[in-house]
Structure 1
Amino acid sequence: MSQKTPQTMKPATAAKKLGIYLPAAPAEFQEGQVTREELNTLLAEPPAWLQELRVNGPHPRPVVAHKLNVSIAGLARAGVEDALTTEQIEALLADRPQWLQTERASLAAVRAEEKRVREAAETK
């Protein structure tokens, strides 16, 4: 019997699964392949660098959108294309620029409509 080779993924895929911004990760993470076992270990017992990235960022766009409670498209419409740190996100939440208020209202309306459609489909 031949020995199974471990399933590996590109660093970008692993970063996405970890919810981190790849360019902010250590070079050894960015340059190598990540096995499924290594990913599970990172998820279960995150090292200091991963904990730091998750707390302070910079955060990838999906995480930024989630923390601001807007869609990724809403970030793009507002011209937010770069990764943001937790400090920058908190400043936006404190300042509440007009684009943020508009995009949050838009996402809330979309979610309400999706809920209405879901409930209508369940009653049929």
Structure 2
Amino acid sequence: MASHKTPQTMKPETAAKKLNVYLPATPDDFKNQPVTREQLNELLSSPPEWLVELRKNGPHPRNEVARKLGVSVSGLARADMNDAALTTAEITALLEAPPAWLVTERATQAEVRSENTRINARDAERRERLQP
């Protein structure tokens, strides 16, 4: 007796995260039904026009907004932009004329990156000294 495996599915929210798109901006047929692993792979390998457009122009999810602005997601929260799903044009406008919060958060992010680089170098040096 052959057993039929049901395809692995995921919630539309999970699929949107994997595709790095803002779920409310996706088409109704995407956000209203589960997505199979096969469908996700197809979307990744040959994205339809709506997916290409969303990735290019947005609105973008919070993590992508933070990445494009060069700040952390926490920095967006401190700026009261938790639910900000910005378009590429809006992100570009913010970068061209940065408000005070963005300047501050970008400086904070630069300090964090610098400190992480310093710690990684220190740890690498310690590992090197411990190697026989």
Q: 1:54-99: CA deviations, max 9, x gaps? A: 1111000000000000000001111112210111101000111111
Aligned to 2:92: 90
Between stretches 14-23 and 113-122, larger displacement belongs to 113-122
Distance (Å, rounded) in 1 between the aligned partners of 2:117 and 2:4 = 49
Counterparts of 1:66 and 1:112 in 2: how far apart (Å)? 17
- Structure whose CA Rg is larger: 2
Cα distance in 2 for partners of 1:37, 1:102 equals 43
Counterpart code for 2:13: A
Which consecutive unaligned segments of at least 5 residues does structure 2 have?
127-132
Matched residue, 1:104: 106
When the two chains are superposed, the root-mean-square deviation of aligned CA atoms in Å is 0.7
Instruction: Structure 1 unaligned segments of length 5 or more: list them.
Output: none
The TM-score with structure 2 as length reference comes to: 0.91
The whole-number CA distance in structure 2 between the counterparts of 1:20 and 1:52 is: 10
Alpha-carbon separation, structure 2, partners of 1:70 and 1:37: 34
Secondary structure in 1 matching 2:113: helix
The 4+ residue runs of structure 1 with deviation greater than 4 A are none
Q: Which amino acid aligns with 1:37?
A: E
Partner of 2:69: 68
Identity among equivalent pairs (%): 59
Deviation at 1:111, TM superposition (A): 0.9
